[in-house]
Copies of this chain bind each other. A is one copy, B any other.
């Protein structure tokens, strides 16, 4: 059944989410205007990597920045540096942090760093969670937006309060800003204004930006210089990272200015979903380009409906759906360039079909 859903999704002409297919053309397009004589970066040095790091440091308002092959590597290293500085192997983050659920416990296995889980799986971290946590962590990591709960955000005021509290307490504050650019339209702040609240910042190049892979880690010169040593230790200091850097830069230039558009699209699309009986989005009103779509139907039913709607309308809604419980299922959607390609009328029609299908199933129950 899952394969049928995936197949029907792949065959659609339009997709609600993302920027299009992740195929080799993504790389070819990024390279098209690059002079073939441009020289590779070599083990972290050279114009390609240095220029881009400087550009990203400036964007984030930090002294320096280092390009990493992945955020997993960058963030573990950031936390390790803060732990070493305080000689205290303990950090705190959300129970659904990427580090907690998607990295095979790399932080714990490679660094023996203990973790304290803040808030709970239904909501973002608030100031009180940090004030109430047991004493003694080297660093708190905040993820903006909190992806696994649909991309939710604390208020900017909360961020400011958390930042001053951590400063007072001598706790370092690290930003998991995989989707940092995506939250700026909601906060109405620059990347530097958000980053100023944090001691170190990570940002990804293949989420809203839609690059091939890669991440930036920014902070003080002392911090990034230590991070380069760890990058070498991890085997992340590749002889050539330029395929990722050139595409990160290309798609950054192409899409960084479109985050407000993606955010507006997300709000529009979420409203369409919320009009369907038996569907709601999390959050109800998105605060970035992403949200989760929850079906009040068991997975198999939702799957059958999505498959049918995709086949009938040619609009790709999702290629998968996860079990939430025996009566509920959900998938994630991130808005990008693809949404604007679909005439609004066709989107509306699709939602008509979707609504009808859901009513049918619910009536039969």
Q: Does B238 contact A69, Cβ atoms closer than 8 Å?
A: yes
User: Could you tell me which residues of chain A, from 173 to 216, have a CB within 8 Å of some CB in chain B?
Assistant: 206, 212-213
In the complex, what distance in Å separates the CA atom of A241 from the CA atom of B36? 21
Contacts of A213 in B (CB 8 A): 238-241
9-residue interface stretch from A16-24, A119-127, A290-298, A334-342: A16-24
Contacts of A105 in B (CB 8 A): 233
Contacts of A110 in B (CB 8 A): 110-111, 233-234
Q: Does B103 contact A233, Cβ atoms closer than 8 Å?
A: yes
Q: Could you say which of B27, B212, B238 contacts A70, with CB atoms under 8 Å apart?
A: B238
A1 at the interface (CB under 8 A from B): no
Contacts of A51 in B (CB 8 A): none
A145 at the interface (CB under 8 A from B): no
Q: Does A39 contact B27, Cβ atoms closer than 8 Å?
A: no
Q: Could you say which of B25, B34, B234 contacts A234, with CB atoms under 8 Å apart?
A: B234
In the complex, what distance in Å separates the CA atom of A190 from the CA atom of B232? 32
| Nearest CB in chain B to that of A74: its residue | B235
Q: Name the interface size band of chain A.
A: 35 or more
A104 at the interface (CB under 8 A from B): yes
A320 at the interface (CB under 8 A from B): no
Question: Knowing A238-B69, A240-B213 touch, does A232 contact B23 (C-beta < 8 A)?
Answer: no
Report how many copies the assembly holds: 2
A149 at the interface (CB under 8 A from B): no
Q: Does B235 contact A106, Cβ atoms closer than 8 Å?
A: yes
Q: How far is the CB of A38 from chain B (nearest CB, A)?
A: 5
In the complex, what distance in Å separates the CA atom of A104 from the CA atom of B26? 34
9-residue interface stretch from A56-64, A89-97, A242-250: A242-250
Q: How far is the CB of A279 from chain B (nearest CB, A)?
A: 27
Question: Knowing A28-B31, A31-B31 touch, does A235 contact B36 (C-beta < 8 A)?
Answer: no
Q: Does A206 contact B37, Cβ atoms closer than 8 Å?
A: no
User: Could you tell me which residues of chain A, from 285 to 332, have a CB within 8 Å of some CB in chain B?
Assistant: none
Q: Could you say which of B24, B37, B232, B236 contacts A69, with CB atoms under 8 Å apart?
A: B236
Given A68-B235, A70-B235, A235-B236, 8 further pairs, Cβ under 8 A:
A21-B39, A24-B38, A24-B246, A72-B234, A73-B235, A76-B235, A104-B230, A213-B238
Which 9 residue pairs of A and B lie closest in terms of their CB atoms, listed nearest first?
Answer: A73-B235, A72-B235, A106-B233, A243-B243, A25-B36, A70-B235, A22-B40, A213-B238, A104-B232
